[in-house]
Amino acid sequence: MPELFADRYTARLDRPVVLFLIGMRFNRLLALRQWLPVAAAMPRMLAELSKKPDAGLLFHRTYLSGRVILVQQYWQSFDQLLAYAHDKSGEHFPAWAAFNRAVGTDGSVGIWHETYLVEPGKSECIYTNMPRFGLAAAAAHVKAEGRLANAKDRMSA
């Protein structure tokens, strides 16, 4: 079990990071041949990235909610995220091509992503009784005290 931090903690950013949310939705649950390869591709990509810290992935977490799988990722930069996505020798590029060949727009599997630039002083978070998580796992994990004690100050710190 990861270490829990009982006090109030927040994230301190010294430079921008990229929040990348990516996911899939099982539109047709019985279309196993379409969605199984899509669902299997992301763990391979995350395993590849964990072996390449220079690629830029700082933290990731996978969530399942009903028909949706969501992967929350924090990256050092948007350029590094794009470089990984377009790397023809990596796991992503062939998985994307296979998805387009096998599924395309047939409606069996939905895929999506959202990308956000998180800049210092333009985000706010708090974690109590939590292991290092989210932005605080991708950036400096610091106690929420002093000028970081309340949300308004954290947003402008």
What does each of the 157 residues of the chain score in pLDDT, given as a tens digit?
889 999 999 999 999 999 999 999 999 999 888 888 888 999 999 999 999 999 999 999 999 999 999 999 999 999 999 999 999 999 999 999 988 888 889 999 999 999 999 999 999 999 999 999 999 999 999 999 999 999 998 988 6
Q: Which residues pair with 19 in a beta bridge?
A: 74, 116
Sorted by where each starts, the structural domains of the chain and their CATH numbers stand as: 5-13+119-156 (no CATH), 17-112 (3.30.70.100)
CB 110 within 8 A of CB 25: yes
Q: How far apart are CA 63 and CA 40, in angstroms?
A: 14
Q: How far apart are CA 4 and CA 26, in angstroms?
A: 34
* 16: Cβ contacts below 8 Å, ≥ 6 apart: 77, 117, 118, 119, 120
Q: How far apart are CA 118 and CA 16, in angstroms?
A: 5
